[in-house]
Amino acid sequence: MFSLRTNKISRSLPYDAIKHTTNLMKTLIVGANGKVGTILCGKMWAAHGFSPVALIRDPRQQTKFTALGVPSVVGDLEVGIKEFLPGMDVVVFSAGSGGHTGPEKTLDVDQNAAVRLIQDCKKSGVRKFVMVSAIGADPASESPRIQHYLRAKGVADGALRASGLDYVIVAPGTLLDERGTGRIEASEKLGHHGYLPREDLADCIIEALRNYNCVGKTIELISGGKKIKDAIAGAVGGAALPPVL
């Protein structure tokens, strides 16, 4: 039986070659086999300027990403995945314990594994980190339904804010499996809850990576009336490209 504790690189596509591509934003998508992660992999592959790599836990999942044209690496987030970080420009954390798990697993994945990955990014020279969080994430959350989840997310968000990395935290409302509309409401503090299709969240992540003004911001997202690019620009003070160094 294959051990899920063994981290290895899938050779289904030339991962090593992609690591050394200089004109694309090399992005490790953590939690790629989840609903948001899978959509994001496909959209990022099709978008200009990105070179996505999917982190998956089970080698049987490789077929899906080969079909998408996205290289994959097999690793256990709870053990640590630092061997896959060198050469990456960005890490997107879209992993989650899932709704079928209890508080202990949520703590292991959504908090402890996220915090470890943030620390490993600092050590490995990965400067940018996008966290998929949630509206209401707070270490002191008193939510009657998902308190353990919002507390774990809140702790991880706090660790990212204090890390010194160029971070973006995207905090959606309740996620839906519906087709995206391409229109959202975005703010650093919305003040109310709402819903968001996962497809729109994936597009928001890509736009947040394109807009340098998103760095250092927490952006709350729900469905709304503005185009994604305009809504995010409005939330962070305009659109800006990364500075030329």
pLDDT digits (tens, 9 = 90+) for 31-59: 999 999 999 999 999 999 999 999 999 99
Q: How confident is the model at residue 211 (pLDDT cuts 50, 70, 90)?
A: very high
Residue 21 has pLDDT above 50, yes or no: no
Are 93 and 111 within 8 A, CB to CB? no
What is each CA distance from 94 to 8, 34, 101, 113, in whole angstroms?
A: 20, 8, 16, 12
| One-character DSSP codes across 154-170 | HHHHHHHHTS-SEEEEE
Total of domains in the chain: 1
Question: CA-to-CA distance for 46 and 51, rounded, in angstroms?
Answer: 9
Share of the chain above pLDDT 70, in %: 88
pLDDT of res. 223: 98
Residue 22 has pLDDT above 80, yes or no: no
- Tell whether 2 is covered by a domain: no
- Tell whether 66 is covered by a domain: yes
- Tell whether 241 is covered by a domain: no
- Number of Cβ within a 10 Å radius of residue 183: 14
* C-alpha dihedral (185, 189, 190, 192), degrees to nearest 10: 150
What is each CA distance from 3 to 6, 8, 56, 64, 82, in whole angstroms?
A: 6, 11, 13, 20, 18
- Tell whether 3 is covered by a domain: no
- Tell whether 244 is covered by a domain: no
CATH code for position 79: 3.40.50.720
- Tell whether 207 is covered by a domain: yes
Q: How confident is the model at residue 99 (pLDDT cuts 50, 70, 90)?
A: low
104 lies in which domain range? 8-236
pLDDT of res. 145: 85
Residue 107 has pLDDT above 80, yes or no: yes
Q: How confident is the model at residue 144 (pLDDT cuts 50, 70, 90)?
A: confident
The residue count of the chain comes to: 245
- Tell whether 142 is covered by a domain: yes
